[in-house]
Amino acid sequence: LFKSTDAGKTWTEIKGNGFPEGTKGRIGLAVAPSNGDVVYALTEAADPSKDGSYTPQTSPKANGLYRSTDAGKTWAQMNNYNVRPFYYSQVRVDPKNADRVYFSSTQLQVSDDGGKTIRGAAQNVHVDDHGLWIDPNDPERWYIANDGGVSITFDRGGNFIQTTTLPIGQFYEVTYDFATPYNICGGAQDNGSWCGPSKRKGPVNNSYWFTYAGGDGFYSAQDPTDPNIIYGESQGGSASRVNLKTGERMSFRKPSWQDRYKQWEDSIAVVRGDPLKAETKEQAKALASLRAQQKSDSVDLALRFNWNTPLVLSPHNPSVVYFGGNRLLKSTKRGEDFYLISPDLSKKEQAKIDTSIVYNGGITLDATGAETYGTIVAFAESYVKAGLIFAGTDDGNVWKSPNDGATWENLTTRFPGLPASTWVARVEPSHFDTLTFWVAFEGHRSNDFTPYLYVTNDGGKSFKSIVNNLPKTSPADYLHVIREDPYNKDLLFVGSSLSAYVSLDRGATWAQFGANLPSVPVFDLKIHPRDHELIAATHGRSFWIAPIAPLEQMTPKVMASNVHLFEPRTAYQWGEGPTLAAGGNGNAQAFFATPSPTYGADISYRVAGAAAGGQARITISDASGDVIATLNGPGAAGLHTVSWNFQGRRAGPAAAPAPLSASERRD
């Protein structure tokens, strides 16, 4: 901790006089607005020792809240409450009361006596508090930011209003079903797993969404043959299958190394025979071999699961579930009776693995499972051939198995220009053949923000980079996901740390695909094959959907034409029944609602040059060739979409209606 009295020209370190002198970590600092001599420092500090060394501890006694009443000359430790200093360490002072101090923790804490006594300051509000703003003119009003969003109090924490108008969900993955309209599901950071409609006739608001799994949400999966069957996952490989119709929940049971260990013990007992008799040389040799195998097998079966564990349904059989630890598991019974189909696919860097799974740290010991290392983080099965599977690990290994895990081929050394041990972000098999697949890597955890993207066309024998004009500097934009369109093999999408990008030429060139999409990390992309829509799971701005049918039909011939009308995607009419609690959102403005796409049929066209009069005219005819509706749309150069609401002239000699604008509806 340093102090300057000349506007930053010179600095003096503060230590001693009550403030920790030894090794220190993160320090949260606040000066009382009502009295500049009162300073609080929420400090991570090692317990002192004679030789200057220290031993990491779960809760060092020197940790805690320190207070000075003379502008930092002398200090007093008010308490030693300092939970997970690297994660929190925020401190604020009431602008009109220097003795009232707030500091962050799993649950926000407050003291009215300068830190001598403390209590919870935000009851019944989401945990993991990282930000606090206090109104300088009205200390009764303050905002708290945590893993659940933003909450507001007008009575110093007695009661709170939880804001529900901000689309700020941090989603990791997304999936879809085949209902009409389809539903999407995904896992959100510390907010569980959620499902809701992709669209409605009217606006979509929070009442149409529901949560079905808790904790930190990650992978979701929906049975394409039964919209009632969904899968949810929380951190560290905790996953379950849910039947929305019956409410039944089945938690995944993973193989246990203890059971296998007992099997070895039984085998050892048989070989040993009577324990009261001396071992023969033959027995000793056999027992030594069995115990060595037992130790190796038991270590291998002590499964490790990443914070975000791949959970994937087979595209060939939705009853088949793949689940990735450090070894790959498979179930043919919708998540029941998992069995192992791979060895440890990580690099088995035991020192790093041990560091990641046991309590450790510089000053304060910590281990939550978020750091678990040496795990599978990417998995995919070929869309063309069942049992052709791919896996990638957090320590940079890439594997391929042509026979559902019976044998594995390590492809790790075949990516030119890739730094060793770079995290495998995604593997994407081709929808058109078995020899083509893509692999995206990302190294931001190692301070490498370069995008890495490769493709193979020979089954993994060789790879080439297709990063090409993706941003590499100012700033570099590392990648989270790569997807191939299921209808146009030249159409690719990637999600990055800042945006999404599209390629119409199989990765030779890229363009930012960001119309209306905020500048935000795109962690996952999925393409709905029936509705021809791209679904993005963003880490900070929730879900976004874009129609891509025109891009799927974009060819050099289309690009060369002056005007082109794209084949419309199938349009659906549907009815909507009552939704639980939906009626309560009709009053005032304090609820989130986003417009749905126009209900009707989308008609897309491309104009190479501006149309005469600045408008395009689209006529819709019935099977007999009679015009039943006319739409006017933009005539400027570019790609445009107008919507027809299924309304038009009825059969018979009635006069044709006047032209409709692109957004107009006529009943």
Position 298 scores a pLDDT of 59
Residue 495: phi and psi, rounded to 5, are: -110, 135
Position 351 scores a pLDDT of 87
H helices of 207-344, in order, are: 257-272, 281-301
Position 584 scores a pLDDT of 52
Position 257 scores a pLDDT of 54
**Stronger pLDDT, 553 or 291, i.e. the higher one:** 553
Q: Is the pLDDT of residue 258 over 60?
A: no
Q: Is the pLDDT of residue 18 over 60?
A: yes
Mean pLDDT, range 263-271, rounded to an integer: 85
Task: Please tell me the pTM assigned to this model.
Answer: 0.89
Per mean pLDDT, which range of 34-38, 206-210, 551-555, 600-604 is the poorest? 206-210
Position 664 scores a pLDDT of 36
State how beta strands 601-607 and 627-634 pair: unpaired
Residue 642 to residue 558: CA distance in whole angstroms? 19
Q: Is the pLDDT of residue 666 over 50?
A: no
**Stronger pLDDT, 641 or 614, i.e. the higher one:** 641
Per mean pLDDT, which range of 290-299, 312-321, 470-479 is the poorest? 290-299
332-377, pLDDT tens digit by residue? 999 998 999 999 999 999 888 888 888 877 899 888 888 999 999 9
Position 261 scores a pLDDT of 65
Instruction: Give whole-number Cα distances, 612 to 615, 619, 635, in Å.
Output: 7, 17, 8
What is the residue extent of each domain of the chain? 2-162, 565-644
469-512, pLDDT tens digit by residue? 999 987 889 999 999 999 999 999 999 999 999 999 999 999 99
Position 614 scores a pLDDT of 81
> Is the bond into 181 cis (omega within 30 degrees of 0)?
yes
Position 361 scores a pLDDT of 78
Mean pLDDT, range 606-631, rounded to an integer: 88
Torsion sign (Cα): 378, 379, 384, 388: positive
**With contact defined as beta carbons under 8 Å apart, do 144 and 151 qualify?**
yes
Mean pLDDT, range 76-98, rounded to an integer: 95
Instruction: Give whole-number Cα distances, 278 to 266, 273, 291, 320, in Å.
Output: 19, 10, 18, 50
154-189, pLDDT tens digit by residue? 999 999 998 888 999 999 999 999 999 999 999 999
**With contact defined as beta carbons under 8 Å apart, do 446 and 476 qualify?**
no
In the block, which residue shows the tokens 């409709």? Answer: 660
Strand partners, 627: 621
Tell me how crowded residue 547 is: count the other CB atoms within 10 A of its CB: 17
Work out the mean pLDDT of the chain and round it to a whole number: 91
Position 272 scores a pLDDT of 86
Residue 131 to residue 275: CA distance in whole angstroms? 64
Position 651 scores a pLDDT of 47
Q: Is the pLDDT of residue 653 over 80?
A: no
* CATH code assigned to 2-162: 2.130.10.10
pLDDT bucket at 49, cuts 50 / 70 / 90: confident
pLDDT bucket at 606, cuts 50 / 70 / 90: very high
**With contact defined as beta carbons under 8 Å apart, do 229 and 243 qualify?**
yes
Position 574 scores a pLDDT of 86
The helix or strand, by DSSP H or E, that contains position 427, with its residue range, turns out to be strand 423-429
Residue 443 to residue 423: CA distance in whole angstroms? 6
